[in-house]
Amino acid sequence: MKKSYPTWTVFSTSCLLSLPLFVFTNMAEAAFLGENSRVSIDMSSRVSSNLDTQNHAFMHVLGIDIHKVFSSDTGDIGTLILQPYVVKLNNVNNPPFIFDDGNATKLTWRIANFNYTALNQGKFNIRLGHFEVPFGLEYQIDTNGTLRQLTAIERGIKADWGLSINGIMPRFEYEVALTQGSGAEINNNDDSHLFSGRIGTLSTKNIVTGLSWLSGDILAANGVIEQKKVALDLSYYYYQWRFMAESSVGKKAGNNVANGFAEVLWRTPKENLSIYTQLRYQRAEIDHNVSSESSSASHWVAGVEWVNDHGFDVSAQYKHKLKEMKNQSIEPILSVQLRYRM
């Protein structure tokens, strides 16, 4: 096992390393990106501790977030978003399959796409690049780089390389995508592909609902896995409270699966402190070819996030099992993250 560095030490080092990066990005913003651009540096360190085994896994991230709107004299042409991030793992058991091992370092693209918006007043846009797969609650809530996650983990894919049409109509919004099914990997050598979409009511309202679907072969650690899913999601906002739920049914590798997700979140009036709890449920056939026997699992998550006026973000989250599936354990994980954007 390689030596683990204390999170605070690595974070401080990242801060020091980011200073020349900050100077560079400011110069880049002025010299190369020009008008209508935004650049920010984003860094974070996270420790996830398995309370049963006392294993401590670390993830350190340093990246640039670039946003640039291209315009003609009388209208916007499109928006470019580029988010290259260097991710360093340290002592991670079962790392995501895109990493060579639990101590690997890798350049990843969180989001990298151009959305062509010049066609029809935002009603019909064309997006090309790496973007979030339009499915369920993930479509309207940004969880990139945060401890708090929604339902992407159930599908094994959050963002993907490809093409989408998207837009906002007077009474609904939509995005329909055809992507590689390879997630973070831009090289697709495994014949994966994914067709996904979501049509929902306006996300500016206090009650938001949507219908999503996906169908395709998604790249995983041992090749591609066929998935077909449909989902309904619902969000309700009431003063400082947010209630969200998503339910999906479908097939994964030929087995029938059903997932349920619910979250309650409360924020202080200044929105610098939020507290949330989530409940997740999954029911899946063990092997459809043998019998229709199925097994279920569930767990709960509780978390807190504090954001200050100067870009610091401190969050903590705890996951605990309610019920485990056969041959699949749910470990009690306590995670703490320190993040800074400048």
Residues that bind other proteins (CB under 8 A): 35-38, 40, 42, 65-67, 69, 71-76, 79, 81, 83, 110-111, 117-118, 121-123, 132, 142, 144-145, 167-170, 202, 204, 206, 237-240, 267, 269-272, 307-309, 311, 313, 341
Spatial CB neighbours of 302, under 8 Å, sequence gap ≥ 6 = 275, 276, 277, 278, 317, 318
Q: CB-wise, 166 or 248, nearer to other proteins?
A: 166
Q: Do 161 and 331 form a contact (C-beta atoms < 8 A)?
A: no
Which long-range contacts link 212-218 to residues 24+ away (Cβ below 8 Å)?
A: 212/134, 212/135, 212/136, 212/139, 212/248, 213/135, 214/133, 214/135, 214/155, 216/181, 216/192, 217/181, 217/191, 217/192, 217/193, 218/155, 218/156, 218/157, 218/181, 218/183, 218/192, 218/194
For the bound state, the minimum distance from the C-beta of residue 13 to other proteins, rounded and expressed in Å, comes to 21
Do residues 235 and 246 lie in contact, with contact meaning Cβ atoms separated by under 8 Å? no
| Least spacing, CB of residue 280 vs other proteins, in Å | 24
Beta carbon nearer to other proteins, 100 or 266? 266
Q: Which amino acid is at 33?
A: L
The CA distance from 209 to 223, in Å, is 34
Closest separation in Å from C-beta 308 to other proteins? 8
In the complex with other proteins, the residue whose CB is nearer, 168 or 336, is 168
Of residues 91 and 113, the one with the C-beta less far from other proteins:
113
Closest distance of CB 7 from other proteins, Å:
20
Shortest spacing between CB 270 and other proteins, in angstroms: 6
Q: Provide the β-strand partners of residue 80.
A: 68, 114
Nearest residue (CB) to other proteins, 223 versus 311: 311
Min dist. Cβ of residue 45 to other proteins (A): 17
Please say which residue, 85 or 213, places its beta carbon nearer to other proteins.
Answer: 85
Cβ-contact 68, 33 below 8 angstroms: yes
Cβ neighbours of residue 163 closer than 8 Å, sequence gap 6 or more? 126, 127, 128, 177, 178, 179
Residue 168: CB partners within 8 Å, gap ≥ 6? 122, 123, 202
Task: Please give the sequence-ordered ranges of beta strands (E in DSSP) within 133-181, or none if there are none.
Answer: 159-168, 172-179
Residues with Cβ within 8 Å of 204's Cβ and at least 6 positions away in sequence, in order, are none
Given the complex with other proteins, which of 10 and 64 has the nearer CB atom? 64
From the CB of 59, what's the least distance to other proteins, in Å? Answer: 17
Work out how close the CB of 198 gets to other proteins at its nearest, in angstroms, rounded to a whole number: 15
Q: How far is the CB of 147 from other proteins (least distance, A)?
A: 14
Cβ closest to other proteins, residue 71 vs residue 105? 71
CB 181 within 8 A of CB 192: yes
In the block, residue with structure tokens 């935002």 = 122
Is the Cβ of residue 39 or residue 333 nearer to other proteins in the bound state? Answer: 39
CA gyration radius, the chain: 21
